[in-house]
Amino acid sequence: MKHVLQTPDYLVFLVYFIVVAAYGLWVYNRKKKATEDSKDYFLAEGSLTWWAIGASLIASNISAEQFIGMSGSGFKMGLAVASYEWMAAATLIIVAVFFMPIYLKNKIYTMPQFLQQRYNGTVAMIMAVFWLLLYVVVNLTSILYLGALAVSSISGFGLWPCAFALALFAIVITLGGMKVIGYTDIIQVFFLIVGGLATTYLALNLVSEKFGASGVGAGMGLVLEHASDHFHMILKRDNPSYLDLPGLTVLLGGMWIANLNYWGCNQYITQRALGADLPTARSGLLFAAFLKLLMPIIVILPGIAAFVLYQNGSLAEMNTAEGVVPDRAYPLLLNMLPVGLKGLAFAALTAAVVASLAGKMNSIATIFTLDIYKKRINEKASEEQIVRVGKISIVAAIVLAIAITPLLGIGEKGGLQFIQEYTGFVSSGVFAMFIMGFLWKKTTSNAALFATIGGFLLSVLFKFLPQWADLSFLAPIGFAAPNGDGIYEIPFLDRMGIVFILCIIGMVAISLIETARGVQPKGLEIDTRMFRVSNSFLVGSLIVLGVLTALYTVFY
């Protein structure tokens, strides 16, 4: 097995690099206004087409934590982890119908701006600082580390040289502004999908060869036969992975909170559509929903195929001194790719990582420049100064991420778990604050602060509660399961649901008390007519929801 790229692989990768770089340079030179207008630079206002928005959403979302982490979860628990991808397709439709009209109607360009407009400057500033810390300390570091680890495993280069190269590539793209990011993401998604499908093809073909058959169809049949326990979307309580995906919660509980918060209240994601008109934004989100249906084939099915190969005696490298490490599944499959396809997979991984880094850095620059620098540091800053500060903050963010990545122990935690653990502590409170701001005009600023701070404290409480109390009494109703040490914990997604409900109750109580005392909350401009959708959008949405219903019915 060769663990380094060969000349044809480098040629394939070079083609990818030249195409992305040349196209990005062409877009940059064609859109010179982006160097002068801050909204154009950060949001590509009115310039991204629906297919560019949809492609950019997926390119920014899919990164090494999906390729490595979800493939590893596929090896460990099977298709159930696809809920994160398939439920996102339904979530994108909800965001397109209900969230996006509110943002665009009220001319909202950043998430802190929404909080200031709906609540007050204190809430907005607290969340602006929080999002900056989250994006740099959690997201940038994990994307960079996992991306470098994956690229290193297939290229044979060292971990940190790969990290520096990925960071440099991402900086070059990001400095061109959202137009360059959005349009180069189209190419990134092409390589991501083609390279990802090539790996899936190889994995299924390997399975068929190991069992004396031939063809991808035979390989898929063998995977279904020999890993039948890996094709259930809803896990039972006795499943070892129940704490990660607790049964019907993926359909009725915390999975919705995680998805709606990520896709609807996240600058990193919504920024792609905030510069467009409503029909274009909705079409882009719907296109992303269709692409989401495809993602489990690319990032999860290879992990299940690797499980079958491992059970058959292949992939002995899965065994380490610490035991079987699921996150090794995808890199090992990549190293089995033939010459040429290996270069394509290398380009796919690089595309996924660079696109995610670029999108995250642009969001960091947008929040810092428009919500902190322009409002608190230099209110009279010119458009040229704002863009320049944005570019400086891009470089500063990635340099800081590189500096602190070795200190965070991401490799020991696992990248996907690292992100989920630290973002999950605040997701419930943040989503409660947004959804109440949308739906109830009486929601006050202090209620929003309660959700922000109280939601975090409640999440910490429920996380560590098993160390102080026996929660086994919750097991019969599915709200607790034993961990590796036999201690009963509340599953992560259930904790999110419980905290969300408590935040809503607290916000309602605080708001009623304050409004009774004469406090007048600031509402948003909402017209129910703006929630109407076009016939084409309706048909596309029904197709997505129909496919999801079929998938959950077949693989329940």
pTM: 0.87
CA distances from 171 to 2, 152, 175, 359 (A): 31, 20, 6, 10
pLDDT, one tens digit for every residue, the chain (556 residues): 445 678 888 888 888 888 887 877 777 777 555 445 666 666 655 567 898 888 888 877 887 777 887 888 899 889 999 999 999 999 999 999 999 999 988 888 888 888 999 998 888 898 888 888 888 888 888 888 878 877 887 777 888 898 899 999 888 888 777 777 777 777 778 877 888 888 899 899 989 998 888 888 999 999 999 999 999 999 888 888 888 888 888 888 888 998 999 899 887 777 777 778 899 999 999 999 999 999 999 989 999 999 999 988 888 777 777 677 787 788 888 877 788 878 887 887 788 788 888 888 888 888 899 888 888 888 888 888 888 898 899 999 999 998 888 877 665 545 566 666 677 788 899 999 999 999 899 999 999 999 989 999 999 898 888 888 888 888 777 788 888 778 888 888 898 999 999 999 999 999 999 999 998 888 787 778 889 999 999 999 999 999 999 999 999 8
How many whole angstroms separate alpha carbon 237 and alpha carbon 482? 10
> CB count, 10 Å around CB of 176?
23
47-415: CATH superfamily: Sodium/glucose cotransporter (1.20.1730.10)
* Residue 488, beta-bridge partner list: 482
> CB count, 10 Å around CB of 338?
12
Contact (Cβ atoms closer than 8 angstroms) between residue 101 and residue 530 = yes
Contact (Cβ atoms closer than 8 angstroms) between residue 62 and residue 348 = no
Contact (Cβ atoms closer than 8 angstroms) between residue 177 and residue 34 = yes
CA proximity to 449, closest of 457, 459, 439, 438: 457
Phi-psi region of 84 (alpha: psi -120 to 50; beta: other; left: phi over 0): alpha
Instruction: Please report, for the chain, the start and end positions of each structural domain, with discontinuous segments joined by +.
Output: 47-415
How many whole angstroms separate alpha carbon 495 and alpha carbon 488? 13
How many whole angstroms separate alpha carbon 68 and alpha carbon 416? 8
